[in-house]
Chain A
């Protein structure tokens, strides 16, 4: 954790195939926001968007980091993995499009809703990817004024 005068920064390391800890980073952020005068609707959007991103990093990517910045009016989540990268982003953003392997589908994941859910729960959403290098997703969610 680091901080400046007006924001908080947390970094979470997500390891590949670590299913048993899947969702622990988003759960931690959720529990922090709940203690921080953030409206319940925003907390819900953050926890869903970040959970989906975290799961994606475990299922599809070789792991990576999630940087979370909390400001007075918004939260910015930057999910950065180290590959394999997405060849066709447009296709990957479609609801129901999935490349998840069978063992993951058996766990209830891989319905092809991860990226679409991340986008629909974010106020600002950006995805950049390069095959062989990795994918970076940045999501911003604004808090409703009290």
Chain B
């Protein structure tokens, strides 16, 4: 099983491709990127692996690291964990078994659907809600980017996180137990490979939250498995085997609202797209929802997991295809009593606040730095042009205070100095505010 790595990020920069433009710094929802010396560097404490920079980089310089098929060579028995979003990648499909059969033809010995495990998580969520009648609004922990965002920006909402494992972890544990029983191999001889739609889930395996370590061994990218599957699927269509264990609920988890629908209550909110997620979290934090809500499902990607940046298909097309695929499925095909092997569903570790945005180590230092910040903000032009390499003037001022940047890198003030001889920093120097 994967060794836990703190501050691991799947998202990385391909320096040769980076032109040093400001596209990524402006689209990053946590202001985690700075252009320094002509290249876009990621601040690892702020990054939540949402993949927005990958989605927007015009030069394909922001990328995600993931494992390749060769990583499975060391295992005697290989099990694929396909997520529901994978089912939305293919055309003219009316049977999920074709996809699952194709996986067994490209090198996997067995498949275990994440959608099947998702139905077990839905079941556990319903039980959790029934057993906890307090009015606390529960926030889904299925999207690791959302959990990471809450951890750095919304500490007051950490208690609202649903303390259940994400479906991929449940799938990995059950798949290993089933494989051990089937083959007689030792657990470590079984290779469990998740086919991920996003970088966030690569990170969640390397540096999981709420559990000591991940049960997933290898994380592959949907876009890399997709071409291998296309030719296998032609054959699989002729004779698909009966693997499918996910119904409407399980398949629906790939779409926004799917997880919420699985709790079989209608007092929920489901939002997608990282900006909308931030809006909902801010309003939850301020208790602005004057309505009865029990559950909040948040997906960082547009449309849900079908919108992940490691997918191939357009998210909206994939969404339409998933809806078609689940149309005539039973409500759920996986129930706890169907599984001979049980696994713990609860998160076992506390997800703690990471105060990465603090301006000082003590309140007094924070006050002094906040004063300094306000003085700097009066001098900076407020254009948020990104010319200095920080996404906003405020981000530059905060970098300056943290010793991670310098307000003298403001290109607009430099321009004014060059053209008109205005020295905006003179007064600040006199006040000793630099």
Contact = CB atoms under 8 A, between A and B. Distances in A.
Interface string B259-277: 0000000000000000000
Contacts of B107: none
Contact of A44 (B285, B365, B398): B285
Contacts of A37: 355, 358, 360-363, 365-366
Interface stretch (B43-51, B192-200, B249-257, B367-375): B367-375
Contacts of B371: 1, 3, 8
Contacts of A8: 367, 370-371, 374
A26 to B, nearest CB: 8
A6 B366 CA distance: 11
B367 A6 contact: yes
Given A3-B371, A70-B367, A36 B358 contact: yes
Given A34-B357, A51-B286, A1 B363 contact: no
Nearest to B153: A34
A41 interface: yes
Contacts, number: 70
A111 B367 contact: no
B156 interface: yes
Contacts of A70: 367, 370
B287 interface: yes
Contact of A32 (B362, B364, B370): B370
B183 interface: no
Given A34-B357, A36-B359, A37-B361, A48 B287 contact: yes
Contacts of B370: 8, 32, 35-36, 70
B74 interface: no
Q: Identify the interface centre among A26, A35, A41, A43: most chain B CB within 10 Å of its CB.
A: A35
A92 interface: no
Contacts of A34: 153, 357
Q: Identify the interface centre among B156, B288, B290, B398: most chain A CB within 10 Å of its CB.
A: B156
Nearest to B374: A1
B269 to A, nearest CB: 15
Given A35-B366, A73-B363, A40 B357 contact: no
B282 interface: yes
B159 to A, nearest CB: 10
A32 B290 CA distance: 25
A129 interface: no
B367 A27 contact: no
A1 B398 CA distance: 17
Interface string B285-327: 1111010000000000000000000000000000000000000
Nearest to B377: A1
A127 interface: no
A1 B357 CA distance: 21
A14 to B, nearest CB: 17
B353 interface: yes
Interface residues of B, number: 26
Nearest to B155: A40
Interface string B327-371: 000000000000000000000000001010111111111110011
A146 to B, nearest CB: 8
Interface string A12-44: 000000000001001100101011111011011
Contacts of A6: 364, 367
Contacts of B287: 48
A1 to B, nearest CB: 5
A111 B290 contact: yes
B279 to A, nearest CB: 11
B401 to A, nearest CB: 10
Contacts of A146: 362-363
A43 B285 CA distance: 10
A44 B156 contact: yes
A4 B357 CA distance: 24
Contacts of A108: 290
A1 B358 CA distance: 20
Nearest to A145: B363
A25 B358 CA distance: 20
B367 A36 contact: yes
Nearest to A111: B290
Q: Identify the interface centre among B156, B288, B290, B367: most chain A CB within 10 Å of its CB.
A: B367
Interface of B: 153, 155-156, 282, 285-288, 290, 353, 355, 357-367, 370-371, 374, 398
Interface of A: 1, 3, 6-8, 23, 26-27, 30, 32, 34-38, 40-41, 43-44, 47-48, 51, 70-73, 108, 111, 143, 146
11 contacts: A3-B371, A26-B286, A27-B286, A36-B358, A36-B370, A37-B361, A38-B363, A40-B353, A41-B156, A47-B285, A51-B286
The 6 closest A-B pairs by CB, nearest first: A36-B366, A40-B155, A40-B156, A3-B371, A1-B374, A35-B359
Given A8-B374, A37-B363, 7 more contacts: A7-B367, A35-B359, A36-B367, A36-B370, A40-B155, A44-B156, A72-B364
